[in-house]
Chains A and B, each alone.
Chain A
């Protein structure tokens, strides 16, 4: 279980996160939404151990986070693939230095590339892959060392609408199959509702936890997005976010003045 306990994070005079508390049970798919500048990415960095809270603490299974580790995998918006490594070698990256031998690593990489639908693309370099395929490789890389938690920072934001929808479906399938805890940052309400069992809404700067909404869309098969339940949930979140987005815009305007 992930426990975020009264976490505050400041950068100089700027407060990115203000007294955020949230528990995320094992196996949960949590979407995290908020206007730009609400500290979403900061929260993810804290979970990933890439930065430390100014006050409060982040616990994983009761243990405070002390830096990055292979119990958590991070997927970035810009893929962050190593361009000098093939798809397979990228997936192997997190396994190197671990207990697996060379052949086992290759086998594991092949297995996870197959899981994300990239069999046959093992020897391609990132520049030979489309955006969607790159993100698939990045997801495979993060899954390959079998972390309990997957942290995803707007992973589909740079993709075209069709590819995004495809990858959302794939991600749900992978989530069901692997039972990972997933924390998924997005600024898209639709995406948050479609993917998340729970959706956490952050306020505009400073980022506070405004609400956590439970989403129940059944098993999400078929055209869920057109159903009445999806619309209802979507509207609820829209109302929650609307004020915050307006506030963030005002804030930006006054800062620009």
Chain B
């Protein structure tokens, strides 16, 4: 009886890991596979402007190395840091406010099912209204300064968090609720010990989406009436014909986006270790 039960762990012990060189080669192959498309893209960006494009087009699409050089210069003289800080500050502020508002609100709406049913169509409508379409409205109401930009980020971030939180609460396995009820749990304890932990991964997916949105939306907002920020940097560089610097700004934005997203992916995994690993 017990021997059959302990069999799996014994088995794990016995299966030898593949020999070192083979594992290394596997890792290497996987790394090559994963980065091939990016490497190819980088190579094209470098080589096509250099050898294929004619003079005038190359002015607007310089080889990657020149753009990176511009990025390096921006980093050295501290200008990049200023813009980055301005952008990240706004994004983080808007994101934080959105999470602080949308998570509790979503829990409340999700817990009271009739309220969820009542609000759902409105929420769908709001979520599908592109945040940037509302930028003029925000500017009209809140002026051209920080407040309208941060508000726009808040607006863009609220929906994924809110909708995911509601969904997380609503999609709790009814059997788990029944099991908890059979143990005589009161509603508040049921909420704290079953609904909340079961909703955490779904809520966190919403939070991760919001973090991405906060950067995507902000950069666009900064192109209108800002005095600092990555969006401002990109826009003014273009206006002043500093094409390399414009691309440098774009690269910075996309690196920032990747960094933020992968950071949240790691966090998300930590919050949902109990979910079976998704096989890629």
Contact = CB atoms under 8 A, between A and B. Distances in A.
- Interface size for chain A: under 10, 10 to 19, 20 to 34, or 35 or more residues? 20 to 34
Interface in A54-88: 67-70, 72-74, 76, 78, 80, 82-85
B5 A93 contact: no
A48 B181 CA distance: 10
A83 B274 contact: yes
B3 to A, nearest CB: 10
Contacts of B274: 83-85, 125-127
Nearest to A118: B5
Contacts of A166: 1
B276 interface: yes
Contacts of B176: 80, 82
Task: Determine the main DSSP class of B at the interface with A.
Answer: helix
Contacts of A96: 193
A68 B184 contact: yes
Contacts of B276: 127
A49, A50, A83, most chain B CB atoms within 10 A: A83
A228 B136 CA distance: 87
B40 interface: no
A194 to B, nearest CB: 17
B178 interface: yes
Nearest to B182: A74
Nearest to B6: A120
Nearest to B272: A84
B175 interface: yes
B275 interface: yes
Contact of B183 (A68, A85, A119, A120): A68
B128 interface: no
B205 to A, nearest CB: 15
Given A76-B179, A94-B183, A127 B275 contact: yes
A68 B182 CA distance: 5
B148 to A, nearest CB: 40
Contacts of A127: 274-276
A117 B189 contact: no
Contacts of A94: 183
Contact of B179 (A70, A74, A119): A74
Given A82-B176, A96-B193, A48 B182 contact: yes
B2 interface: yes
A50 B182 contact: yes
A93 B183 contact: yes
A116 to B, nearest CB: 10
Nearest to A162: B4
A99 interface: no
Interface stretch (B52-60, B72-80, B157-165, B194-202): B194-202
Nearest to A77: B175
Contacts of A93: 180, 183, 193
B29 interface: no
Contact of A84 (B179, B184, B197): B197
B179, B182, B197, B200, most chain A CB atoms within 10 A: B182
A93 B181 CA distance: 12
B6 to A, nearest CB: 7
Contacts of B5: 117-118, 121, 133
Query: Which 7 pairs across A and B sit closest by C-beta, in order of nearness?
Result: A80-B179, A84-B274, A74-B182, A127-B276, A68-B184, A84-B197, A80-B175
13 contacts: A49-B182, A50-B178, A68-B183, A72-B182, A74-B179, A74-B182, A82-B197, A82-B198, A83-B275, A93-B193, A117-B1, A117-B5, A166-B1
Interface of A: 48-50, 67-70, 72-74, 76, 78, 80, 82-85, 93-94, 96-97, 117-121, 125-127, 133, 145, 166, 170
Given A118-B5, A125-B274, 6 more contacts: A67-B184, A68-B182, A68-B183, A69-B184, A76-B178, A84-B274
